[in-house]
Structure 1
Amino acid sequence: MTQPFRTGSKTFASTICPGMAMSLAADRLVIETEKPFYVLSSAVYGGGYGTADRFVNREVPLDYDCSDPARDYERMLALWGYSPETTIGFLTAAKLTHASVAETAGEAFGLLCCATAGTGNAARAGRARETFPAYAPGTINLFVLVDGSMTASAMVNAVITATEAKSAALHDCGILDQKHGLPATGTTTDAIAIGASQTGRHGRTHRYAGAATALGDAIGRLVYGTVEEAVRTQGEA
């Protein structure tokens, strides 16, 4: 695991996934790919299934309150000069400088994971709580990008594996649900993107991504490590 932006660096280039790079600006962390990735995400802008060559993690203040974050995001994309058709947009109140990044290569895949984490609104799923209709920041945002080919069902499987790893990291970090005092499983506004290059250069399509598969095992390890590092250091300068 590494936090490349804590030392003042503004860029990070993947050594595993060809053509993938990250950059940090004052209000956003951007991951760009050379060619569009097939993506499944819960992003506030461009969520669902689609294709994208740019993933934006936008930093907003803790008091950010917007009833239509997608429209607000569209306004910001125009300001930044980003294509709305090929950009996936996330929001966070976490420190972007403390983003944790990890990558590895495995059996017919390359993998990069990036996590940003703020746990002020940590929550335990399955316990009753106050609900709200509008987006509120805080959040753990996860980017799981695979240089390889995956079926749609494998991408859903990867969401499950990543979520389990995130929850395990929070448990091991001792993060509690503030309302109930029990171990948190996430925050109230977590988001994730699973992306696959769908390149045929590896000669294989991954049909599963559970913890017993090579791809799922790698996703679990890298998500756990990046979430743990981002959570553990969130209060540091």
Structure 2
Amino acid sequence: MLNEPSLTTRRENGRDVPMLVWRADRPLLSVSSAPLGGGLDVRNWVVNATVPMSYDRDDPADHLAELADRLGLDGPGVGLLTGVDVAEVVARADGGVRVWATVGLGTPVWAAAPAEAGAPAATVAAEAAPATLVERVGTVNIVAYVPARLGPAALVNAVATATEAKAQALAELGVPGTGTPTDAITVLCPVDGPEAAYGGPRSTWGSPLARAVHAAVTAGGAGTVVPWSDRLAT
């Protein structure tokens, strides 16, 4: 079981910087694209940490490991970073599946955007986006818990399903892209019990996962997200 996240802070450069921390009652299977704890493995916790928009560390995994150590988190876990104030996390549930999303859409990109000479695709997409979106912080981080054991292929399929649901939500919001360049996702499930073989959008667990992700990203993307570092100046 993955518990509801707790909101805490860390002291950096004279400021209290927010973090969300999920703790599992027992180790969980995880598939993740996070800087720390990515891949397929067993994990005990998840951290989603706010960082300023000026963040320039080139060792995010080490940074997140340091934060986990400060929090006294035991064993392996998953660590995510975002410029969004993680206190604005949006939670949704559907059919036993639970999803939490921190949604920032400052740099929307099309996954298959053609690269232009001398300009990264992300830059091209950002320049084409409406000003109201460009001013918003980037990164959509999604943490999902499925209450049944998913097989390895089903876990990978669940990532695809959640990503499709995110893209659907962004399309319905009128966002000019399928996500941002730094989006990350983590799907967790129990390590024991009967193994579900499928995680697609019409499967037993993929279907509620898709709906919960869609609802969370829609709700998070509909509001105005201010970069955490900008909040300090107001």
Give the TM-score taking structure 2 as reference length: 0.80
1:189 equivalent in alignment to 2:182: yes
| Separation in structure 2 between the aligned mates of residue 89 and residue 29 of structure 1, nearest angstrom | 10
1:222 equivalent in alignment to 2:222: no
More helix per residue: 2
Match of 1:130 among 120, 139, 153: 120
- What letter matches 1:80 in structure 2? L
Per-residue Cα deviation, 1:53-91 (whole angstroms, up to 9, x for no partner)? 2110000011111111111222222222223x3221000
Within 5 Å, which residues of 2 pair with 1:205-220? 205-220=195-210
Within 5 Å, which residues of 2 pair with 1:1-237? 18=1, 20-26=3-9, 27-83=18-74, 85-105=75-95, 110-127=96-113, 128=115, 130=120, 138-176=138-176, 184-200=177-193, 204-235=194-225
Unaligned stretches of 5+ residues in structure 1: 1-17, 177-183
RMSD of aligned Cα (Å): 2.0
Per-residue Cα deviation, 1:123-155 (whole angstroms, up to 9, x for no partner)? 1111125279xxxx8310011111111100000
Q: 1:189 Cα deviation (Å)? A: 0.3
| Separation in structure 2 between the aligned mates of residue 89 and residue 170 of structure 1, nearest angstrom | 24
SS in 2 for 1:185: coil
| Separation in structure 2 between the aligned mates of residue 190 and residue 120 of structure 1, nearest angstrom | 11
| Separation in structure 1 between the aligned mates of residue 72 and residue 225 of structure 2, nearest angstrom | 33
- What letter matches 1:220 in structure 2? A
| Separation in structure 2 between the aligned mates of residue 191 and residue 54 of structure 1, nearest angstrom | 16
SS in 2 for 1:89: strand
- What letter matches 1:28 in structure 2? M
Give the TM-score taking structure 1 as reference length: 0.79
Which ranges of 4 or more aligned residues in structure 1 deviate by more than 4 Å? Answer: none
SS in 1 for 2:105: coil
1:73/1:19 Cα in 2 relative to 1: closer, same or farther (>3 Å)? closer
Per-residue Cα deviation, 1:213-234 (whole angstroms, up to 9, x for no partner)? 1211101100000011111124
Aligned position for 2:134: none
- What letter matches 2:56 in structure 1? D
| Separation in structure 1 between the aligned mates of residue 67 and residue 202 of structure 2, nearest angstrom | 41
| Separation in structure 2 between the aligned mates of residue 118 and residue 232 of structure 1, nearest angstrom | 10
Aligned length: 201
